[in-house]
Chain A
Amino acid sequence: MNQTESFLRILPEVILTVTGVVVMMIEAVLPRASSRKPLGWMAILGVLAALYASLRQALLVPGTAYSGLIQTDAFSVFFHVLICGIVLVTLLVALDSLQGAVDNQGEFFALVAFGAVGMLLMTTASELLLVFIGLEISSISTYIMAGLRKRAAKGPEAAIKYFLLGSFATAFFLYGVALIFGATGTTNIASLASLLPQSQTPVFALVGLAMILIGIGFKVSAAPFQVWTPDVYEGAPPATVGLMSTAPKAAAFAFLLRILYGAFPAYHVHWVPLIWIMAALSMTVGNLGALRQQNVKRMLAYSSIAHAGYLLVAFAALSADGVAAASFYAASYAAMNVGVFAVISHVGGREEKIVTVGDYRGLAYRSPLLGGMLAFFLISLIGIPFTGGFFGKFYVFSAALHSGLVWLAILGLFNSGIAAFYYLRLLTSAYSKPSETQPMESIARVTPALLVALLLTVVATLILGIVPNQVLGSAKAGAITFYPDASNANAIAVKH
């Protein structure tokens, strides 16, 4: 294994770390009054470089580096590109919207870069301890991001809540890792699959897996570990909620796929029921919870719980199609959700005056552009054809049906019917005539950076909805990591 190739395998992480450090150091010496925008642009450049480095990894032969600590393959590249894309759009949105809204905007840019490092590590690590480190890096930066608005009453509350519960979750995760190590003598995901059958105490390994499921379940806000989500999303600055609800989750889901399909496929009898229950609960709790919300951010928080549920449906499918569907879903959810939060963060403005569904009344009249964008993303979230949201659900549910999970698929589709109701409530509100009694809050002009961010997400959502072949192809290439013999796309086989 030559040194350059090993280095290439962690290059994206290195680039982002350097970016974060540089941004933070410059932030410290910049005069207080000066604009932090150039720092944002620096971070964007760093992310673009990391994106390029990730794409470059696709040309390498899949393999491990640094004593098997990390593994790059088509699967990790898929999630690398996805996470870099999300971070890029988030930075574009934050360039203007966070100015003046939070103290220390420069810190924010550094945090985003560091957080991304953690997330990238999670998707590429083949060692449970490295996953833990990645998880902590990404979590700590999101905890801080949630509390960036120190002056807003709900900001610190959200951050504390997030931090306390998140620490419990990572503790569970770490205990789980310890139990697995105790049972098998290894924390390497790849060796686990072969060592598990020889273990004297496989039940400890399974308890360990259950604990890891709890930890990850918390991170992706899957029921019954979802309670923190609405409060945290409500308190955090909207630009960061778009990030929080997509990138760390994509990373966590990627890791979950790796451990379930890479290390524990032989024990699927034990974990599939758990996933089944989590999926069914998340969809139902999320959607029913969202129905009752008036606050738009809370509503979208509940909806993100539901989306985690849809994604978990694909996990239960136990097939290459299921893995590909889960990856695709993560991508399509990211495109539309980052987009919708970009709109919401801009409409809400610095002081977040427009928060409830009722406040959105007449938005489409005041700003046809923002109204149209909001409508588009909501339509995608509902899952109307020709948008990414549709194909995301489509692949998930067809993978489930293929594997005989008819009831889970029906439950899922019934849930998307319920979901349509609350998304539409927001949509119709935005498209209702503005009332004369209610004074209109002014909406700031759409800045070029925001416009670029919105266009990126719209185009991504459309590409995923009209010509999904390319992305699905990459997702399938990733799935082959777990199903080497499944180059035939429809093969349904569980490794034993």
Chain B
Amino acid sequence: MNDSILTWITLLPAAGAVVVALLPRRGQVIQWFTLLVMLATLGLALHLPAHFVPGQGGFQFEVNRAWIASPNIHYHLGVDGISVWLVVLTAFLGPLAVFASWKAIATRTKEFYFLLLLQWTAMIGVFVSLDLFLYYGFWELSLVPMAIAIAMFGRDRGPQAALKFFVYTFLPSALFLVAILWLYAKTGSFDFVVLQQALASGNLGATPQALTWVALAFLVAFAVKVPVFPLHGWLGDVISEAPTGMAMVVAGKLGLYSILRFNLGLFPAQAKQFAPWMIALAVIGLLYGALVALVQKDLKRLAAYSTMSGLSFCTLGIFSFAIAGIDGSIYQILSHEISGSALLVLLGILYERFGTYDIASYGGLAAKMPRYATLFVVTSLSLIGWPILNGFVGEFLVLSSSYGVHAGWGAAATIGVILSAAYMLWMVQRVFYGPTSSLVAGKGSPDLLFREAIALWPVAVLMFIMGVASPAWIRLIDPTVTALVGTIERAPSPSSFPRTVAAQTIPGGEKR
């Protein structure tokens, strides 16, 4: 079981997609079937943390078979402490995505669920691939169903948003491919473990400058997907146009995971070089996202910019190179994806009832939909990092370690926390409290339905559990991160790079 479990988890959704393509368009057969596949995938994914041995080092549940002889490509899967929860998270979001689409996607359900399932295979594939080539395959594949779904099921400007999304992410990916090929030309391997050893040994016969360029190509491709400021141009359009089920997973985890795995894992020395820039960009993105969210009139756009702000915390934590900071980042990815998805699902419910995302049209909703309001407030509190909820743990770990790196950036990031409280709570106040708006008063809309409660209450409970029982998660993450931070510390620091050394040894002071 252990050597085929990852294959099952990865390919089950794709197999489901093929079946969906063959199912008749009748009744809700397709919805139920997709839900079943997603639940089965989740069931299989839960096997991973249950049997994962923390602190064992290396990858677990590995499978490594030759696939294509030339170039030397292997079907190599495996998870470590960084990816294990991300696989579970993706599987967990699957049923939620089906639920979010249950009523929202009324026509062309076959196409939608086909794309949805394919998207899930691509995302899980990204997390488990240990062959760079295979990884690239899943990475690129993750763009396609997303783009088509946005074009087909988006709001009015869907096609434009899809195009923007694809071009934004595809262009840097092309450079990323050059970088992968360059590595292959140097080493004759795409295997992550082999490459890691080759790069660490420093026997590549490559100049530090070349390595810096290669690492930069990796970083840019991933940063777009996060998105890191200023590469976020696609995010607002895509999240506000995309159908909820897809919008949930468009940002964040793929890019952040890849930065952790490849930029820190393969290029620790170069990551150190980039760190000051990345920290600065993260803090700028954090504040920028929060400020832009503050002035949004559209609920979905607000959610988009809050995503950008929230994910910038993760970037900040990653580049602090502290164990607690990276632990916190990974935890923040998990909790932000959960809470952010819950928020989008809740907004989707609101849209189903009232047909608008315009904040000004709402008001006084709490009196009319108290149970809905409760969940909404819990989710909002989780997103702003309220203690005992999941958002707090990651934010706290990240902020405390960023003070250790540079107190100034840490202080600036803390302002972001205050701003996020401001825009979320102000939004809650405008939508749920105050005088009842004519839109809310005019419609006899029901409170949370049983179906919706079934889907969302477990998520809310999970937010609480993750808020108080974080060690259960960190336990698996921490050993891997500790090892990773160890390699980063051992890597040559930027000042020992020949070029920098040369710059330093040039007697600039003497000239003055």
Contacts and interface: CB of A to CB of B under 8 A. Distances in A.
Given A364-B111, A489-B70, A384 B140 contact: yes
B468 interface: no
B148 to A, nearest CB: 5
A428 B140 contact: no
Nearest to B21: A372
A433 B151 CA distance: 8
B354 interface: no
B141 A385 contact: yes
B231 to A, nearest CB: 15
B159 interface: yes
A368 B111 contact: yes
B136 interface: yes
B382 to A, nearest CB: 35
9 A-B pairs closest in CB distance: A385-B137, A417-B171, A413-B174, A428-B151, A428-B159, A431-B152, A431-B151, A417-B174, A420-B170
A321 to B, nearest CB: 9
Interface stretch (A66-74, A132-140, A397-405): A397-405
17 contacts: A364-B152, A382-B170, A394-B71, A397-B177, A398-B184, A402-B185, A409-B181, A413-B177, A417-B167, A421-B163, A424-B163, A428-B148, A428-B151, A428-B159, A428-B162, A432-B158, A472-B70
A467 interface: yes
A431 B148 contact: yes
A239 to B, nearest CB: 27
Contacts of B174: 413-414, 416-417
Contacts of A476: 70
Interface residues of A, number: 38
Interface string B145-164: 00110011000001100110
Interface in B35-90: 68-71
B68 A384 contact: no
Contacts of B177: 394, 397, 413
A392 to B, nearest CB: 13
Nearest to B152: A431
A386 B68 contact: no
B147 A424 contact: yes
A429 B162 CA distance: 11
A494 interface: no
A413 B170 CA distance: 10
A413 B175 contact: yes
Interface residues of B, number: 34
A62 to B, nearest CB: 22
Greatest chain B CB density within 10 A among A433, A468, A476 is at A433
B483 interface: no
A366 B158 CA distance: 19
A406 B136 CA distance: 20
A52 to B, nearest CB: 28
A427 interface: yes
Contacts of A416: 174
A462 to B, nearest CB: 13
Interface in A424-438: 424-425, 427-429, 431-433
A386 B159 contact: no
B151 A413 contact: no
B70 A413 contact: no
B178 A375 contact: no
A379 interface: yes
A198 interface: no
Interface of B: 68-71, 108, 110-111, 136-138, 140-141, 143-144, 147-148, 151-152, 158-159, 162-163, 166-167, 170-171, 174-175, 177-178, 181-182, 184-185
A432 B159 contact: yes
A274 interface: no
B167 A469 contact: no
Contact of A386 (B69, B141, B147, B158): B141
A406 B138 CA distance: 25
Contacts of B143: 384
Greatest chain A CB density within 10 A among B143, B144, B167 is at B144
A467 B69 CA distance: 10
Contacts of A427: 147-148, 151
Contacts of A433: 152
A394 B182 CA distance: 12
Contacts of A429: 159
A21 interface: no
Contacts of B138: 385
Nearest to B25: A368
Contacts of A368: 110-111
Greatest chain B CB density within 10 A among A364, A386, A420 is at A420
Contacts of B178: 397, 401, 406, 409-410, 413
A129 B511 CA distance: 71
Contacts of A420: 166-167, 170-171
B181 A469 contact: no
Contacts of A398: 71, 181, 184-185
A7 interface: no
Given A413-B177, A431-B148, A469 B70 contact: yes
B167 to A, nearest CB: 5
Greatest chain B CB density within 10 A among A416, A420, A431 is at A431
A379 B143 CA distance: 11
Nearest to A382: B170
B432 to A, nearest CB: 33
B147 A397 contact: no
Contacts of B148: 375, 427-428, 431
A168 interface: no
A428 B138 CA distance: 21
Nearest to B172: A417
Contacts of B136: 385
Contacts of A365: 108
Given A421-B163, A424-B147, A432-B152, A401 B170 contact: no
Contact of B163 (A394, A417, A425, A489): A425
Contacts of A472: 70
Nearest to A391: B68
A428 B147 contact: yes
B107 to A, nearest CB: 9
Nearest to B170: A420
Given A364-B152, A401-B181, A431-B152, A385 B68 contact: no
A402 B181 CA distance: 9
A432 B177 CA distance: 30
Given A421-B167, A424-B163, A428-B151, A397 B181 contact: yes
A69 B68 CA distance: 38
Contact of B137 (A375, A386, A424): A386
